[in-house]
Amino acid sequence: MSATPLTYQLPDHLSSDQFIKQLHTKLSFVVAAQYPLVKTFYDSFDWRLYHASMVLEFNQSESVGVLSLMNIHHPQVLMTMELERMPTFAVDFPQPDFMQQLQLVLEMRALLPVMQLNGDYALVNILNSDQKTVLRLVIENYATLPGRIRIQTIKGYDKHVLALILLLQTEFALQAVDEPLLIEACHAQRKKIGGFSSKLKLRLEPEMRTDDVCRYIYINLLERMAQTEQGCIDNIDSEFLHDFRVAVRRTRAGLSQIKQVFPKQSMGQFIEFFSWLGHITSGVRDIDVYLLNYESYKNSLPEAYREDLEPLQQLLLSKQRRAYEQLARHLTGSVYQDGIEEWRDFLETPIELYEMDIAASLPIKHYADQRLWKVYKRLLREAGNIDPQSPVEALHGLRKTAKKLRYLMEFFQTLYSGTRIKLLLKALKTIQEVLGRIQDLEVQKLALKRFREELRKLNTPEQTLLAIDALINELDRRKNAARFTYTESYEVFSQKKNQQAFRELFASGTQTQT
Amino acid sequence: MKIIAVYAIKGGVGKTATAVNLAYLSAKQGLRTLIWDLDAQGACSYYFRIKPKVKGGTKGLLKNKADLDHLIKGTDFDGLDLLPADFSNRNFDLLLDDKKKPTQQLRKLLQQFEGQYDVVFLDCPPGITLLSEAILTAAEIVLSPIIPTTLSLRTLEQLKAFIQANKLDNLQFVPFFSMVDRRKKSHLDYLQAFTEQYPEFLKAMIPNASEIERMGIERMPLTAFDCKTRSAKAYQQLWQELQPII
């Protein structure tokens, strides 16, 4: 039955009441339910359900709320449950099946309403001669879209479905609809489908001027900050701040690495502003990370210690609450608002050519080659001085250089052969992740020591302090293990094949400079 | 997947009414539920307005690697499916007897539903036959309605002895009182005596009430059309008591 069209559109001249009335002469049925309906589609800010081919639909009437998880391409209900209020996170769902399925896709992301339709709902049970329901029709009218009829099949009664389809197509001249309702509604309301993505999709041409490309990159990043800013203020979920910070970090990498383009005297204030933004958001993000890792922390301990860790979670939650309140004050305050406004003005206001720095008019490909090759060589130089015993600070320095190189490569990647630069990015990402893990575990270990001290002063039971000690030891063990994977990942990154690819991609246009 | 046989040696003790109502409550709770009407009389299928007919008959069911899925019918209730009865089920014993390892046949057939259903109810015909043995081999729980009378006590003992003799050690035997008439002194006396003698009896007691007979008119579970009656509440209590076991 999978290829059989099961959804039909009601033409403008046929209301659902009229349809039901006309159906009386053709079939035996009962109207099992009929009521005004508010239909709300939920997804995460980055539409994770949609990208996993799922739709979460909450149908509310005065007396009942029914939540259905459906496949977007077939009108097939995967799961359904009655619900009074929509939970925010997958973990808050009362039904284990729903919770598990949604958690797999949504992880830490909150569910948000992405589309709402008002209308009427009717459920019609089609009966056979024994008055047994052999299939159901869900008829929905919407205020802003054409109505739809959806056939709900009942196992073992396929032949009735085919007969009904014939009736709908010949007697009522109804047309089957392929387009999912959510997509149709988004098109009708000119809403972007697919939501937010933190991935940069810049389309660059080799001959573009460097200053134009810089503006394009910065404006793109500024838009991402604007899109995620309110989610940070409202503390919807941890990923808003994460994405906000990624845009800030990329901007900072641009400001520090793409030099000699804009007038030097104008850039100082922006470098300072974005550094401040990095600073005011970093503590909050750290607490988010501790809480996101909390279950993994807990599960890494022997079972007997796990519940003793609870006061740590409470401490982190209260710190998180305060940190977000402070962040909201910053993001709604004048320093941030004025800083962003000035940055936008700067990017949107043309600058006299004579005021620009020497690299402004260079073709971007030429400029990108130079910068990428230079930063790559610096990375190799720094990495040459590192071994598994090097101090954490040296590894952190290397991580920062790797990150700068990665951001630059991501900015300029459309200037280079698609697959080669992607492979190099992947290799770079691997080494960057190892370095990141070492640094994060060190920072987390130090933070845990601070939290332990705070809890000790609050007369927290000794068992909790012991559990935290065990956790600190565990993080130290993981950090040391990660250090040993560094050598291996660096060897992969710096293998001849990759060095050759870096040289061919970036050094060919910069022979005179190298 | 939990397989629950609603079974008694004696007929007319409320097996089908119990299976139908518990299966409905199971589906209502969100468990994917199947009820298999094994009785040639087809009362269970009748209650769900489903024709007691299976393509290929009982013989087809028992064929090697028979696919039972295409024989299943959805009931009018979400999450509740039925494998209908067939008049040829009256020959179940004979057909089983023709097979190698006849008592293992139902267990093997039911394996195909693993992952598809959470609970399977077997609505069994009365008697103590080869089919009964196959049912008790396939099931993990045997839920047995007992009327508080001398004859019922006798069948209860017979059933326990049968389970023991066939070494069905993993089978959980769960009796409960059915068709209880509290106006009858004999029922009250037996209730007291049985409860003392058999502590394994569940506390829920299904009354002998006319509302249960209305299921034949409404053709649906009592718990679906009138959940406030004494009998419906008794089925709900019975279902609640079964939760820890399931």
Give the tens place of pLDDT for each residue, B159-195.
999 999 988 888 999 999 999 999 999 999 999 888 8
Q: What are the pLDDT digits (tens) for A39-62?
A: 999 999 999 999 999 999 999 998
Contact A131 B49 (CB under 8 A): yes
From the centroid of its chain, how far is CA A263? 35
Query: β-pairing, A112-127 with A77-82?
Result: unpaired
The CATH classification number of A210-510 equals: 1.40.20.10
Region class of A194: left (phi > 0), else alpha (psi between -120 and 50), else beta: left
Supply the pLDDT for residue A511.
Answer: 52
Higher pLDDT pick, B61 / A320: A320
In chain B, residues with a C-beta closer than 8 Å to the C-beta of A95 are 30
CB-CB neighbours of A175 under 10 Å? 14
In chain A, residues with a C-beta closer than 8 Å to the C-beta of B72 are 155-156
Give yes or no for a contact between B236 and B25, defined as CB atoms under 8 angstroms apart: yes
**Sequence spans of domains, chain A:** 7-188, 210-510
C-alpha span between B181 and B204 (Å, rounded): 14
Q: What are the pLDDT digits (tens) for A455-486?
A: 999 999 999 999 999 999 999 999 888 888 88
Give yes or no for a contact between B14 and B179, defined as CB atoms under 8 angstroms apart: yes
Supply the pLDDT for residue A512.
Answer: 44
Rg of chain A, C-alpha, whole Å? 29
Give Cα separations from A108 to A288, A444, A481, B179 (angstroms).
11, 20, 27, 53
C-alpha span between A318 and A331 (Å, rounded): 20
Supply the pLDDT for residue A1.
Answer: 41
A388 pLDDT above the threshold of 80: no
Q: What is the mean predicted confidence (pLDDT) over A15-39?
A: 92
In chain B, residues with a C-beta closer than 8 Å to the C-beta of A158 are none
A123 pLDDT above the threshold of 90: yes
Which domains are seen in chain B, by residue range? Answer: 2-242 (3.40.50.300)
Confidence grade of residue A509 (pLDDT, cut at 50, 70, 90):
low
Name A77's bridge partners: A70
Rg of chain B, C-alpha, whole Å? 17
Contact A132 B50 (CB under 8 A): yes
Confidence grade of residue A418 (pLDDT, cut at 50, 70, 90):
confident
Give yes or no for a contact between A42 and A134, defined as CB atoms under 8 angstroms apart: no
Please name the helix (run of DSSP H) or strand (run of DSSP E) that holds residue A13, with its range, or none: none
Confidence grade of residue B62 (pLDDT, cut at 50, 70, 90):
confident
**3-state SS of chain A: helix, strand, coil percent to 5?**
60, 15, 25
Contact B73 A156 (CB under 8 A): yes
Average pLDDT over chain A, rounded to whole? 91
Supply the pLDDT for residue A3.
Answer: 60
Closest CA to A219 of A340, A344, A339, A331: A344
Q: What is the mean predicted confidence (pLDDT) over A355-382?
A: 90
Confidence grade of residue A75 (pLDDT, cut at 50, 70, 90):
low
A436 pLDDT above the threshold of 60: yes
Q: What are the pLDDT digits (tens) for A248-288?
A: 999 999 999 998 899 888 899 999 999 999 999 999 999 99
Q: What backbone torsions phi and psi does residue A226 show, to the nearest 5 degrees?
A: -65, -40
Mutate to test the interface with A, among B37, B47, B73 (most CBs of A within 10 A): B73
Give yes or no for a contact between A485 and A395, defined as CB atoms under 8 angstroms apart: no
HSE at residue B138, side-chain half, CA atoms within 13 A, is 32
Contact A155 B76 (CB under 8 A): no
Q: What are the pLDDT digits (tens) for B97-148?
A: 888 888 888 999 999 999 999 999 999 999 989 999 999 999 999 999 999 9
Q: What is the mean predicted confidence (pLDDT) over A6-28?
A: 90
C-alpha span between A101 and A93 (Å, rounded): 10
State the DSSP string of B117-159: BSEEEEE--SS-SHHHHHHHHH-SEEEEEE-SSHHHHHHHHHH
Q: What is the mean predicted confidence (pLDDT) over A417-433?
A: 87
Q: Amino acid identity, residue A87?
A: P
Domain spanning A7-188: which superfamily? Hypothetical Protein Pfu-838710-001 (2.40.320.10)
Residues with Cβ within 8 Å of B92's Cβ and at least 6 positions away in sequence, in order, are B38, B40, B58, B125, B129, B130, B131
Closest CA to B12 of B205, B115, B147: B147
Give yes or no for a contact between A399 and A432, defined as CB atoms under 8 angstroms apart: yes
Q: What are the pLDDT digits (tens) for A294-311?
A: 999 899 998 888 999 999
A2 pLDDT above the threshold of 60: no
Query: Taking CA atoms, what residue in A is nearest to B34?
Result: A155
Q: Which residue stretches of A260-309 are H helix?
A: 264-292, 294-300, 303-306
Q: How close does chain B come to A157, measured CA to CA in Å? A: 7
Closest CA to A278 of A255, A300, A308, A307: A255
A109 pLDDT above the threshold of 70: yes
Q: What are the pLDDT digits (tens) for B191-234?
A: 988 888 888 899 999 999 999 999 999 999 999 999 999 999 99
**CA-CA-CA-CA dihedral for A361, A363, A368, A371, to nearest 10:** -40
